[in-house]
Amino acid sequence: MLDYASALQTDGFSAFENYWRTKNGPDLHQFLDNSGIERLKENITSGVINLCLAVDEIDEDLRRLIEYLYLISKDSIEVTALQLSYARHGVLEILIPSTFGTEIAHSKSPNRSVPTEKWTWDTFVSAIPDNTEKELATYLKSLIDAVPSTGSHEKLWFGVKPRGGIFFHIHGERYAPFQVTLNSSGNFVLAANWNWWPSLKNDSKFAKLAAALQQDHTGSSTRVLVSEIDLDEFWKVAVECDKMINS
C-alpha cells in the first residue's frame, strides 16, 4: 500500500493520468472541472493520498499499524483497512465489507497538535458520565482480573478515543469474545465480536453469547447497554465463549 502511494507521488500527475486512461475510465478533464484537476495535481505532488488496505481479516496487528500511521501522518490523510469476508448461500456469492480506521479519521482535528490517544482503563472509566455505569465498568474489570491467563496476549486491547472499543481477551488468548465502548450519548455499551474475524464468522461457538444478548450469531452484532444485561450471567457465558473460540 505504501509502495503504491510513494510511486504515485514520485511519478506525478502525468503518470497517474496515463494509467487512468489505460483503465478506460472517463476522461479526467470531463470528470473533474479545472479546480478539481488542480487539486488532484497538488495532492499527488504533496503526497496527500488516502490509503486503503483490502484484506481477508482485520487483526489486532493491522489495527495497531493503522493507528500508528494515523499518529504520524498528515491530518489530511486517511488510512483505512477494508475487510472483505466471503459468504455463500446456494449459488449466491457475497462479499461482506467491514472497515477499520474511519472512526479515527473522524476524530482527527484539522488543528491537531498532539497525537490521537488510545484509551487507558482509567481514562475510559472517567469518560463515563453515569456513576452507576462507572460501577458496572469497574466490576467488569474486576471479573477479568480474576481470570488466570493461559495465553501471552494482553487481556485488554485499547482502541482510540473517543469511540474505539476495548477488547476483552479474557484468558489472554488471540480472540476476544466481546468489546466495550461508549456510544454517542456517552453510555457504557457492549458488543459481541462474532463478525470481527473471518475464521469465526457465524461460528456456533458464539451462539450462547449471542443468545445472552438476545441476538443471533449469524446476523449483525448490535451494541447493548451494559446496564440492561445481567452482568454475572453474561460473564459466565463470555468466559465459556472465550475458551471455545480460542481452542
DSSP one-letter string for 48-94? ---EEEEES---HHHHHHHHHHHHHS-TT--EEEEEEEEEEETTEEE
pLDDT confidence of residue 11: 86
Which residue in the block uniquely carries the three cell numbers 488496505? 53
Alpha carbons 47 and 13: distance in angstroms, whole number? 11
Share the mean pLDDT of the chain. 85
pLDDT confidence of residue 102: 61
Give CA angle at 242 (236, 247), nearest 5°: 135
pLDDT confidence of residue 116: 60
Alpha carbons 193 and 213: distance in angstroms, whole number? 12
Given a cut of 50, is residue 239 above it in pLDDT? yes
Alpha carbons 147 and 41: distance in angstroms, whole number? 56
Among 66-70, 102-106, 141-145, 189-193, the range scoring the smallest mean pLDDT is 102-106
Residue type, 227: S
Alpha carbons 206 and 196: distance in angstroms, whole number? 12
pLDDT confidence of residue 113: 43
Instruction: Show the cell assigned to 35.
Output: 479546480
3-state secondary structure of 168: strand
pLDDT confidence of residue 103: 57
3-class secondary structure per residue, 185-236? CCCEEEEECCCCCHHHCCCHHHHHHHHHCCCCCCCCCCCEEHHHCCHHHHHH
pLDDT confidence of residue 115: 46
Alpha carbons 40 and 116: distance in angstroms, whole number? 27
pLDDT (mean) for 152-181: 91
pLDDT (mean) for 11-23: 83
pLDDT confidence of residue 57: 77
Which residue has better confidence, 209 or 64? Answer: 209
pLDDT confidence of residue 105: 53
Q: Is the pTM of this model over 0.85?
A: no
pLDDT (mean) for 49-70: 80
Point out which residues pair with 51 in neighbouring strands. Answer: 79
pLDDT (mean) for 31-36: 72
Given a cut of 80, is residue 98 above it in pLDDT? no
Which residue has better confidence, 54 or 149? Answer: 149
Q: Which residues contact 146 (CB under 8 A, 6 or more apart)?
A: none
Given a cut of 80, is residue 123 above it in pLDDT? yes
pLDDT confidence bin for 139, thresholds 50/70/90: very high
